[in-house]
Structure 1
Amino acid sequence: MPKDTYIPCLLQLFRQYGYDGATLARISEATGLGKASLYHHFPKGKDEMVQAVMDYLEQWLTENVLPSLQGKGTALEKLHRMCDRLSELYEAGQQPCISATLLLGSARDLFHDRVQARYCAWITAVAQVLVDAGLDRTTAQQRGEDMVIALQGSLIVSQGLNNPKVFQRSLQQLPQQLCRDLDA
């Protein structure tokens, strides 16, 4: 099978265990591939596996989340569409964010630049929606950052409390919070 077949499984493993905890033994067991087969598909080992997962997520965000912020509709409608797609990605708050797990432990230095670039692109896209709706650029940028804070924080709290409703509530409130003071 092509290596792309294993990406969803790897995503789940790295979400659940982080970089350090997703051992080759766990990966082998979850994928059904022996270590030799893993290295056949991913010659650079776990680093390449994580890079493949990040490529997959970046493509998903580029194809699903960022387009939801473009096109027709008010800023509020666009942000609601974005939140709907994020709910899908995080299974309504039942799945943790892989970015958070990759920024912990030994993986931080390995993947920080990619996580940072993804956050920056996302913040910029949200800020542009808010600027187009009439908000000044500085405030729009800060609200884009607030969006990431709210989402990441609610995902962490949802995981900590084992209660995905925290994330769901945050997603429901987020568009109105970002659009406050706007005729969006």
Structure 2
Amino acid sequence: MAPQLAEIFRRYGYEGAGIGAFATETGAGRSRLCHFSPGGKEEMAAAVEAYFRSGQRICLVGAFALDDGRTRFSGRIESYFARWGAALAQCLQRAGWPEPEARQEAISILAAIQGGIVLTRASGNAEAFRSALATALARAGRAGTDATGE
């Protein structure tokens, strides 16, 4: 259910995602959701975080980008990564990064996440993903020129 929850959080944000959206979009119903997630939305968010931090799930877009189907999906794949990179760059700018450095750091974060997923899948060691993600988040947390070492 974590992938469904992640999509709901992605679409509505944490504050906008209500029990009604979770019940409707997962098909689980309110009582079942309350039974499996007695901690409510916080518990659901923790499940989503654990899902992503595990690095065990393959990125479907990344998989399509690497196999023979890449030509068929190239426009959608390019658009997916462009939107993700733009969203990351905007977050970094709000955190104080200058625009050109934010764009470059967004690319580095994307590369770290995708590389961590590939390494984890190849090695079976989830630590590769956790390490890549921790490094990317630590760098992203340092605003502006402090993050670039200047």
TM-score when normalising by structure 2: 0.61
Structure 2 residues without counterparts, runs of 5 or longer: 15-45
Q: Which residue of 2 aligns with 1:93?
A: 55
Count of residue correspondences:
113
Query: Are 2:89 and 2:105, in contact at CA under 8 Å, matched by a contact in 1?
Result: yes
- The within-5 A match list for 1:69-84 is none
- The within-5 A match list for 1:128-147 is 128-147=90-109
Q: Which residue of 2 aligns with 1:174?
A: 136
Structure 1 residues without counterparts, runs of 5 or longer: 1-7, 12-55, 69-83
Q: CA deviation at 1:137?
A: 0.8
- Which of these residues, 64, 67, 91, is aligned with residue 10 of structure 2? 64
Q: CA deviation at 1:89?
A: 4.8
Seq. identity, %: 21
Structure-2 separation of matches of 1:162 and 1:67: 31
Structure-2 separation of matches of 1:126 and 1:175: 11
Query: Are 2:85 and 2:107, in contact at CA under 8 Å, matched by a contact in 1?
Result: yes
Runs (4+) off by over 3 Å: 65-68, 84-91
TM-score when normalising by structure 1: 0.51
1:158 aligns with 2:123: no
User: CA RMSD of the aligned region, Å?
Assistant: 3.2
Larger RCO, structure (CA 8 Å, separation 6 or more) = 1
Structure-1 separation of matches of 2:51 and 2:77: 16
